[in-house]
A and B are shown apart, each in its own frame.
Chain A
Amino acid sequence: MTVIFGIAAGFAFLGALGVVLSQRTLYSALSLVVNMVSLAVLFLLLDAQFLAAVQIIVYAGAVMVLFVFIIALLSPGAEERVRPLELRMLLGGVAAIVFTLVIGRLALNGITVGPNGRLHGGLGPFAPTVVNAHGQVQTLGEQLFTTYLLPFEVTSLLLLVAAVGAVYLSKRRRVEQ
């Protein structure tokens, strides 16, 4: 477990660094694919098999294909070079480390994790063994269509609006002169 976590976390971290530091946009996209796949492995470690599959299908499949397609279509190779040792990048690196420390400290403070390393507030009914015995996808689906039905429907509306908006934006407009 710990070894797999270490490998996947390292790849996720390197992929994230690659996204920000790559000189060429296509390399950024490929680093993002590495990051997504490592995150899918981490989801598997967290007993979220369905989310791991969705992560691969939606992100590494659909979203990244869209990105690579747009990059190939536009080929914005003329971006001015960002050298890693530029002042901006140095400041960015310092800011990233500070952000990480602050967010990590907040995430691990006494509200969620007590001094003995245990979580406060008690545990819910969805222990991994219970969920896996009942079926991961079944449990998710039952929750999605009962407790979380309203957000689910709102999400479908959001997807519809996004599709209509994309069609409208990419429609070729006549130049009025």
Chain B
Amino acid sequence: MSGMFQGFLILSAALFSIGAVGVLVRRNPLVVFMSIELMLNAANLALVTYARYTHTMAGQIFALFVIAVAASEVVVGLALITGVYRSGRHLDLDELSEMSE
């Protein structure tokens, strides 16, 4: 049983790292947002794993809150991206950081 536990945690760490690298490496803001979702999901997996193996409920409750936060974050972020696109700029994070005023 403890082997499964460690497997879940390693998988969670791997997913989180892939998401973090995606945030750092990719330039498309949509892909960056998806990588952030990936990181939040990896954190959720770790929370639920600990909740299951410590026989507590707090991890699952907190995972629910994380899902709510992620949903609202996506809503606001995508509204921002459409706003940037509508103002006629190229959707590239490197260019956008230089054009901020």
Contact = CB atoms under 8 A, between A and B. Distances in A.
Interface of A: 1-2, 5, 9, 12-13, 16-17, 19-20, 22, 25, 28-29, 32, 35-36, 39, 42-43, 46-48, 50-51, 54-55, 58-59, 62-63, 66-67, 70-71, 73-74, 76, 78-80, 82, 88-89, 92-93, 95-97, 99-100, 103-104, 107-108, 112-113, 117-119, 121, 123-128, 131, 139-140, 143-144, 148, 151, 155, 158-159, 161-163, 165-166, 169-170
A9 B11 contact: yes
Contact of A16 (B3, B19, B55, B71): B19
B72 A162 contact: yes
Contacts of A170: 79, 82-83
Contacts of A161: 72
Nearest to B10: A104
A107 B35 CA distance: 21
Interface of B: 2-22, 24-28, 30-31, 33-35, 37-38, 41, 44-46, 48-57, 60-61, 63-65, 67-76, 78-83, 85, 90-92
A42 B8 contact: yes
Contact of B2 (A117, A125, A131): A117
Interface SS of A by simple majority: helix
Contact of B78 (A67, A148, A155): A67
Contact of A43 (B48, B68, B78): B48
Name the residue among B3, B5, B17 with the largest chain A CB count within 10 angstroms: B17
A112 B18 CA distance: 24
A143 B57 contact: yes
